[in-house]
Amino acid sequence: MRAVLVGAVASTAVALQAFARSDWELALCVTLPSEKSERHSDFVDLAHDARMAGTDMFFTTATNDPATVEAIRAARPDFIFVIGWSQICGANFLDIVPGRVIGYHPAALPRLRGRAAIAWTILLDEKITAGSLFYMADGVDDGQILDQQYFHVAPRETASTLYAKHMAALEQMLDRTLVRLAKGEAKPEPQDDCCATYAVRRTSADGLIDWRQPARDIDRLVRAAGRPYPGAFTTAKDAKLTIWASEPVDPPLPYHAEPGQLVAHDNDGLLIQTGSGQLRVSEWSWELVGRPPMHGLLGRGHG
C-alpha cells in the first residue's frame, strides 16, 4: 500500500514513525515550510522523521493549491492521511483518492467536531475522551469512523498531559489501522449525528483571564491554554503576565481583595484574588514592552 501524509505537528511525527515501522510505502510527506511555523503553536520540523520513513517532503501553505494537489496525485497514493493539519481539504483534494482520505481528530467523535478539541475537552471538564481516525467527507469531522481509542481525562489534566495521551492513543490506533487497511479488514462505522457537538476555533486572545470568574474556572483555563499552546494571561499597564501553572486555594484564605489583586508573593508563588477564592500561581512569565520574557517558577523569579 502507498500513502501520502499531510501534517505539520507532533501527531504528524507520530504518524511518520508508524509508517516507518509498517509494511506501507510512504510516498510523500506534505508539510509547512519552517518559515510558516507560526501557524501552529505545536509545529514540528518533520525532516528527521521523514528521513527515517524513507519519504520525500513537499512544502506548501495551501492544501488545495493546484501544485499541492498535483504533487500528491503524482505520488500515486492508495490512501491519503491528514494528521495534524488545520486547513480544510476541498473537493479537488478529496477527489485525488475518492473515499480514501483519512483524518485524525483528538476527540471522541461525533463529540467536539471542529477546532481546538484538546482545549475544549479541559474547558468542558470532560471525564472521558478519545482519539478518532475517520474517513474525511464534505462536512466537518463527520465521516465514518475507522478507529477510536478511549481514555480517561484526569481531574487536573493539562493541555500538555492530554496532548501526550492523544499521541499515545494515535500510535496504537495507527499500528492496528494500517494493518487492517492493508488486509482489507477495516470496518468503518457511521457517526451518530444526534450526538454531535461542535467546538469553535480558539486563538491566543481567548487565553485572557477574567479575574471575576471563580478560581476553579480560571485554573481550568490555565490548564487548557497552557503548553504547547500560547497560555492564559493577564495584563497590567505595559506588562503581560502569562500563567503556566496554578491551583485553586481550598479552602480560600481570609483575604479581602478585589478580583485580580495580588495578595501574597512568597516561596509558594503568587496568590491572586479571584471572583470566588484565590488562585495560587506556581509558574509564570512576565513580558514587558521592548524586553524579553522573564520567567518565574515557585516564586523564585519575577519581573
228 shares a domain with 186: no
| Mean pLDDT on 80-84 | 97
Per-residue pLDDT at 72 exceeds 60: yes
d(CA 277, CA 282): 16
Per-residue pLDDT at 301 exceeds 70: no
118 shares a domain with 19: yes
Q: Cβ neighbours of residue 74 under 8 Å, at least 6 residues apart?
A: none
Per-residue pLDDT at 289 exceeds 90: no
pLDDT band at residue 298 using 50, 70 and 90 as cut-offs? very low
Residue 273 belongs to some domain of the structure: yes
Per-residue pLDDT at 290 exceeds 70: no
pLDDT band at residue 294 using 50, 70 and 90 as cut-offs? low
259 shares a domain with 161: no
| Mean pLDDT on 7-19 | 97
**Comparing 2-6, 32-36, 99-103, which segment has the lowest mean pLDDT?**
32-36
CA angle at residue 193 from 120 to 3, to 5 degrees?
Answer: 75
Q: How many residues does the chain have?
A: 303
- pLDDT given for residue 38 in this prediction: 79
d(CA 147, CA 45): 27
248 shares a domain with 121: no
Residue 67 belongs to some domain of the structure: yes
pLDDT band at residue 302 using 50, 70 and 90 as cut-offs? very low
**Are the C-beta atoms of residues 83 and 51 closer than 8 Å to each other?**
no
207: amino acid identity, one letter: G
The CATH number of the domain holding residue 140 is 3.40.50.170
Domain count of the chain?
A: 2
| Mean pLDDT on 8-18 | 97
140 shares a domain with 212: no
3-class DSSP state of 76: coil
d(CA 108, CA 150): 7
Residue 155 belongs to some domain of the structure: yes
252 shares a domain with 277: yes
Residue 302 belongs to some domain of the structure: no
95: amino acid identity, one letter: D
**Summary mean pLDDT of the chain:** 93
**Are the C-beta atoms of residues 131 and 104 closer than 8 Å to each other?**
yes
184 shares a domain with 254: no
227 shares a domain with 137: no
Name the residue with cell 521592548.
290
* Structural domain for 64, as ranges: 2-199
Residue 131 belongs to some domain of the structure: yes
| Mean pLDDT on 25-30 | 98
For residue 104 the three cell numbers come to: 485524525
22 shares a domain with 39: yes
Q: Which residue has the higher pLDDT, 6 or 139?
A: 6
Residue 303 belongs to some domain of the structure: no
Domain boundary at 199, 217, 241, which? 199
Eight-state DSSP code of residue 46 = -
- pLDDT given for residue 299 in this prediction: 39
Residue 55 belongs to some domain of the structure: yes
Query: CA of 296: how far to CAs of 157, 244, 266, in Å?
Result: 21, 10, 12
**Could you read off the pLDDT of 34-68 as tens digits, one per residue?**
888 777 778 999 999 999 999 999 999 999 999 99
- pLDDT given for residue 303 in this prediction: 34
| Mean pLDDT on 107-122 | 97
Domain boundary at 134, 168, 199, which? 199
To the nearest whole percent, how much of the chain has pLDDT over 70? 95
| Mean pLDDT on 185-207 | 96
| Mean pLDDT on 211-233 | 97
Q: What is the DSSP string of 227-255?
A: TTS--EEEEETTEEEEEEEEEE-SSPPS-
266 shares a domain with 145: no
Per-residue pLDDT at 82 exceeds 70: yes
183 shares a domain with 231: no
- pLDDT given for residue 209 in this prediction: 98
137 shares a domain with 43: yes
**Could you read off the pLDDT of 143-185 as tens digits, one per residue?**
999 999 999 999 999 999 999 999 999 999 999 999 999 999 9
The CATH number of the domain holding residue 286 is 3.10.25.10
Per-residue pLDDT at 266 exceeds 80: yes
Contacts 24+ apart (CB under 8 A), 207-211: 207/231, 207/232, 207/233, 207/242, 208/232, 208/233, 208/234, 208/235, 209/233, 209/234, 209/243, 209/260, 211/259, 211/260, 211/272, 211/273, 211/274, 211/275
Residue 68 belongs to some domain of the structure: yes
Domain boundary at 174, 199, 224, which? 199
91: amino acid identity, one letter: A
Name the residue with cell 500538555.
160
d(CA 281, CA 222): 10
| Mean pLDDT on 106-129 | 97
Which residues lie across from 281 on neighbouring strands? 246, 270
